[in-house]
């Protein structure tokens, strides 16, 4: 059953390494200290809600990372007519610019180390979210791995399959991804060479002012002759830093995700019966520990978004 009220927010953080701080806000209406959050607007994804609410409450622009946790609790309905079920989905959010000014909802913001923040938080549910956030390093590398959007049926296309374009539904999925992936700070775009893969992420590349770089090893025909090379290529892309957006195919993504999860001991909660999901137009947000010395990127978490359109919270590991 869907919750009556949905909200989203983030553990907003800044700093580097172990020397990081998190932001708590004081809401005079409730006289409490909490993590920044707010209600989902109609037609809005939870990721968009989190970024918008952070800006409105704290004045900071945040770049989202991994999904952290969901809380659920009862709230009174208006006019005293019973209670409603409310869920709040929290992300990791790095503060990249901005400054705080008191506003209608928040009159004070404090940057604190996690221990001090835990002592100040009013609600135990927020403490649990903070602890979940602190269980992994906040500094990380994010790879956004998307399966190409819908391109119609192969049997209905008479030309070269490499040139099969997105359908109208696929174009809508691509536009939704164009709105979603910037929230995670995508800064470069790579794609399997097939047209439908490139078209899925072309809008993001246009917005960034960059070219779509072709990655043959992440296409089905390039990956399967030697999957080890394809996995190594994705790890090399992660090791280059930044936040790459990579467009690939349904014949590649499940095996790639499974191999990384098995290698690094990550349980894929999105998996059902051992099958890793990869719907057309879906997105995996892969979070890696930054490379250190001779150690390459290590997968820390994997969040699955079955659609870039407004939907329930992602499955995460």
Q: pLDDT tens track of the chain, all 317 residues? A: 566 899 999 999 999 877 899 999 999 999 999 999 999 999 999 999 999 999 999 999 999 999 999 999 888 877 667 788 899 999 999 999 999 999 999 999 999 999 999 999 999 999 999 999 999 999 899 999 999 999 977 666 566 666 789 999 999 999 999 999 999 999 999 999 999 999 999 999 999 999 999 999 999 999 999 999 999 999 999 999 999 999 999 999 999 999 999 999 999 988 777 789 999 999 999 999 876 666 689 999 999 999 998 866 787 76
Q: Which tokens belong to 114?
A: 């996690």
What are the two backbone dihedrals, phi and then psi, of residue 121, each rounded to the nearest 5 degrees?
-55, 140
- Chain centroid to CA 44: 15
Report the alpha-carbon distance of residue 220 to residue 298 in Å, rounded: 24
Give me the domains of the chain, ranges plus CATH numbers. 5-134 (3.90.79.10), 141-316 (3.40.50.1240)
Of 211, 230, 204, the residue nearest 149 (C-alpha): 204
Of 226, 313, 280, the residue nearest 7 (C-alpha): 313
Report the alpha-carbon distance of residue 125 to residue 265 in Å, rounded: 27
pTM, to two decimals: 0.93
Q: Where are the alpha helices (DSSP H) in 104-167?
A: 114-120, 124-134
Report the alpha-carbon distance of residue 163 to residue 208 in Å, rounded: 24
**Percentage of the chain surpassing pLDDT 90?**
80
Report the alpha-carbon distance of residue 9 to residue 70 in Å, rounded: 10
pLDDT computed for residue 273 by the predictor = 76
Torsion angle in degrees (nearest 10) through CA of 282, 6, 64, 196: 20
DSSP string, 179-239: HHGGGGT--EEEE-SSHHHHHHHHHHHHHHT-PEEE-GGGSHHHHTT-HHHHHHHHHHHHH
Q: Which tokens belong to 197?
A: 């893969």
What are the two backbone dihedrals, phi and then psi, of residue 154, each rounded to the nearest 5 degrees?
-60, -40
């Amino acid at each position: 059953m869907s919750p009556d009220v949905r909200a989203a927010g983030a553990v907003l953080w800044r700093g580097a390494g172990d020397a990081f701080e998190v932001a708590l806000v004081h809401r005079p209406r409730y006289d409490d200290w909490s993590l920044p959050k707010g209600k989902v607007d109609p037609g809005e994804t939870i990721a968009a809600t989190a970024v918008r609410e952070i800006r409105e409450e704290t004045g900071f622009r945040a770049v989202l990372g991994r999904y952290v946790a969901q809380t659920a609790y009862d709230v009174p309905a208006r006019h005293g007519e019973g209670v409603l079920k409310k869920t709040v989905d929290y992300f990791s959010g790095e503060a990249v610019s901005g400054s705080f000014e008191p506003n209608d909802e928040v009159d004070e913001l404090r940057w604190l180390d996690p221990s001090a923040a835990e002592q100040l938080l009013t609600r135990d549910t927020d403490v649990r979210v903070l602890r979940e956030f602190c269980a992994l390093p906040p500094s990380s590398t994010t790879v956004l791995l998307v399966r190409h959007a819908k391109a119609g049926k192969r049997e209905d296309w008479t030309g070269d399959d490499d040139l099969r374009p997105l359908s109208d539904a696929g174009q809508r999925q691509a536009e939704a991804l164009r709105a979603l992936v910037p929230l995670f700070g995508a800064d470069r775009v790579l794609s399997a060479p097939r047209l439908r893969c490139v078209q899925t992420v072309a809008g993001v590349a246009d917005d960034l002012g960059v070219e779509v770089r072709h990655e043959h090893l992440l296409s089905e025909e390039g990956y399967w002759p030697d999957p080890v090379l394809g996995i190594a290529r994705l790890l090399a892309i992660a090791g280059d830093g930044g936040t790459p957006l990579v467009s690939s195919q349904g014949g590649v993504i499940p095996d790639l995700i499974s191999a990384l999860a098995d290698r690094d001991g990550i349980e894929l909660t999105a998996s059902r019966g051992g099958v890793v999901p990869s719907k057309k137009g879906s997105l995996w947000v892969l979070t890696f520990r930054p490379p250190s010395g001779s150690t390459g990127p290590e997968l820390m978490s994997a969040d699955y978004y079955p659609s870039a359109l407004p939907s329930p919270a992602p499955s995460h590991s």
